[in-house]
Chains A and B, each alone.
Chain A
């Protein structure tokens, strides 16, 4: 059974008070659930949140499915999001992603066998002057080379 930590529950309660409408608390609360649920949000967690917030599950689902940053299925410990929009694509990120997928033997969006990685191609992350770049969990990694990127992944245990 999914349940938010005491701290998580306090957070959601505060968010419910923070804005002019309680529904504005849905996005921040989904972030909290994702943080406490290994980086993704399950159907069960939506049900829990619905009860906890007093907002219909359908209403939460509507928001949940609209935004790309909420993961709909399990992700690896490190969610590697490689920007493949214009500036980064020009700097070779599509090819770089392919080498990651080949090396770790997964398809885009899958979790590696050891649970460490999920690789996703994403749209512009607003760091185009430092292309090629990727985001691992919350952190930006910029001015990559194929070698530096590979080394970075190797060091993530």
Chain B
């Protein structure tokens, strides 16, 4: 069953305006938050169990707690560089509920004592950027941003920054490089951004959905928020579902919700009554799971980790029995090859190797031993680079290849896809 906290008013076209937002209780949590002590807000967010909704799932309150007390200017960056393939939850939130994000951000900025924030929006999301920019202006005009917000003595400025097409800028230090006017290449950690981030100042980078959730945690209290979800995965989460389902879209369900229920109930089941074959549960970086595994999968951080995959950004691609896994692998590998920033050798070279190898299976120039080589290359790419892109490219290979090995062998031996058949070769 859907539990609509963040997405409650998505159906209301007026909700994206200040007026429409206020009709639904917008900016009513902010005065309450500004009367709290910043450390009380941080404690509440910690107690809520909120984990980063961008992909890594790091506890938000804990991240905030890493800020040093050295008197330096602190920055808050909202990561709206939604680039993980098949994720479209942040775009929808910015387009339909920008003030919800802004209110969550002002509360978060107050909690961490930050005078300035940026929303780094993916370059391709031109419409979302326009909606958010307009909403920020409305918030300034209404006195929710700027000097002495609602007479609290707290000053905060907010601005947007548009990316220009680079998946790697979704990685928090890549985003910081980009915002600083450089190539969006990630930086070596430590130091973590909380200690040394934007312009080497203490910086918190949080995802769109995470920051919006803060508003609801302060509105309802940590205990209320924790009523949804599981012990280790608290709250609700937006899932972007695409692929072979009847009703693709964004769905907000409590964490721990069975994946099969989401597919069959909310998403209306598999298209044209075909059989479920597999699903990618958390963006293409997450290893694929088979139909059998899907039956046991619940949508929370711990269950999917136990299955050797991850919740990631919460984007689910559902595949039916007409899908060729060799072909899917090629599409995925092409993406990571295209998006590697080129900084670290295992990733720069490895992503190219993966794409070449899987292409050679389809071109008919591979031998069966290349299947092992594919896994060997992927294994050597893991944990050897500055950021997680290399792992993100390797993990899908290490999911698809062992689980659907016979499809790779068949393709190499017969010269056409086992699923699509000779006629479609």
Which of A31, A67, A86 interacts with B85 by CB under 8 Å? A86
Instruction: Other than A86-B331, A129-B242, give 11 A-B pairs with Cβ distance below 8 A.
Output: A19-B161, A23-B181, A24-B179, A27-B163, A27-B178, A27-B181, A31-B162, A67-B166, A85-B335, A86-B328, A123-B85
**30 A-B residue pairings within 8 Å (CB atoms):** A23-B181, A23-B182, A24-B180, A25-B181, A26-B181, A27-B161, A27-B162, A27-B163, A27-B164, A27-B178, A62-B182, A63-B181, A86-B332, A87-B242, A87-B248, A89-B327, A90-B243, A123-B85, A123-B338, A124-B85, A124-B87, A126-B124, A126-B125, A127-B88, A128-B85, A128-B242, A129-B242, A129-B248, A138-B127, A140-B127
Complex Cα distance A70/B184, Å? Answer: 14
The winner among A30, A62, A123, A127 for most chain B CB atoms within 10 A is A123
Known: A85-B335, A129-B250. A66 touches B183 (CB 8 A): yes
Q: Is A151 an interface residue, CB under 8 A from the partner?
A: no
Roughly how many angstroms separate A22 CA and B339 CA in the complex, as a whole number? 27
Contact surface of B with A, Cβ cutoff 8 Å: 82-88, 91, 122-127, 159, 161-167, 178-184, 198-199, 240-244, 248-250, 280, 284, 315, 317, 319, 323, 327-328, 331-332, 335, 338-339, 341
In the complex, what residues of B have CB within 8 A of residue A125's CB?
124
Contact B183 A63 (CB under 8 A): yes
CA A68 to CA B335, docked complex, whole Å: 13
The minimal Cβ–Cβ distance linking A130 to chain B, given in whole angstroms, is 8
- Are the CB atoms of A90 and B323 closer together than 8 Å? yes
Q: Is A102 located at the chain interface by the 8 A CB criterion?
A: no
- Top 3 closest A-B pairs, CB basis? A23-B181, A128-B242, A67-B164
**In the bound complex, how far is the Cα of B87 from the Cα of A25, in angstroms?**
28
Interface residues on A, range: 35 or more
- Beta-carbon contact of A31 and B164 below 8 Å: yes
CA distance A101 to B173 in the complex (A): 38
Among residues of B, the one whose C-beta sits closest to the C-beta of A26 is B181
Pairwise interchain contact B180-A21, C-beta atoms closer than 8 A: yes
Are A84 and B123 neighbours in the complex by a CB distance under 8 Å?
Answer: no
Min CB–CB distance B270 → chain A (angstroms) = 13
Q: Are A123 and B339 in contact (CB under 8 A)?
A: yes
Given contacts A21-B180, A21-B181, A67-B123, contact A85 B164 (CB under 8 A): no
Residues of B within 8 A of A85 (CB): 85-86, 284, 331, 335
Residue picked from B86, B164, B166, most chain A C-beta under 10 Å: B164
**A30 surroundings in chain B (CB, below 8 A):** 164
Is B164 touching A69 in the complex (CB atoms < 8 A)?
yes
| A35→B323 CA distance, assembly (Å) | 40
CA gap between A66 and B177 in the complex, in Å: 12
Q: Whole-angstrom distance from the CB of A12 to the nearest CB of chain B?
A: 13
* Cα-based distance from A84 to B184 in the complex (angstroms): 23
Cβ distance A75 to chain B, nearest Cβ, rounded Å: 14
Q: Which residues of B contact A23 (CB under 8 A)?
A: 180-182
CB distance from B336 to the nearest CB of A (A): 10
Min C-beta distance of A72 to chain B, whole Å: 12
Question: Complex formed: what's the CA distance from A145 to B164 in Å?
Answer: 28
Q: In the assembled complex, which residues on chain B have CB atoms less than 8 Å from the CB atom of A70? A: 164-165
Closest Cβ neighbor of B332 among chain A residues: A86
> Which of chain A's residues have a CB closer than 8 A to the CB of B319?
90
A18 at the interface (CB under 8 A from B): yes
Flag if B240 contacts A128 (CB, 8 Å). Answer: yes
Q: Which residues of B contact A27 (CB under 8 A)?
A: 161-164, 178, 181
B115 to chain A, nearest CB (A): 12
How far in angstroms is the closest Cβ of chain B from A111?
A: 20
Q: Smallest distance from the beta carbon of A37 to chain B beta carbons, Å? A: 15
In the complex, what residues of A have CB within 8 A of residue B83's CB?
124, 126
Which chain A residues lie closer than 8 Å to B327 at the CB level?
Answer: 89
Interchain CA distance A87-B198 in the complex, whole Å: 34
In the complex, residue of chain A having the shortest beta-carbon distance to the beta carbon of B126: A138
Residues of A within 8 A of B91 (CB): 126-127
**CA A89 to CA B164, docked complex, whole Å:** 23
Residues of A with C-beta under 8 A to B335: 85, 123-124
Nearest Cβ on chain B to A34's Cβ, whole angstroms: 10
> Nearest chain B CB to A83's CB is how many angstroms away?
9
When chains A and B are docked, how far (Å) is the Cα of A151 from the Cα of B250?
A: 29
Q: Are A126 and B199 in contact (CB under 8 A)?
A: no
Contacts of B244 on A, CB cut-off 8 Å?
A: 90
- B184: A residues at CB distance < 8 A: 66-67
A27-B178, A126-B88 are known contacts. Are A87 and B122 too (CB-CB below 8 A)?
Answer: no
A86 touches B317 (CB 8 A): yes
Neighbour of B240 across the interface among A67, A68, A123, A129, CB < 8 A: A129
Would A89 and B331 count as touching, CB distance under 8 A?
Answer: yes
Report if A68-B85 is in contact (Cβ < 8 Å); known contacts: A21-B181, A86-B328, A123-B335: no
Q: With A and B bound together, what is the CA distance between A128 and B86 in angstroms?
A: 6
Q: How far is the CB of A90 from chain B (nearest CB, A)?
A: 6
Complex Cα distance, B249 from A124, in Å, reads 15
Nearest B-chain residue to A123, judged by Cβ: B335
Which residue, of B122, B124, B184, B250, has the highest number of chain A Cβ atoms within 10 A? B124
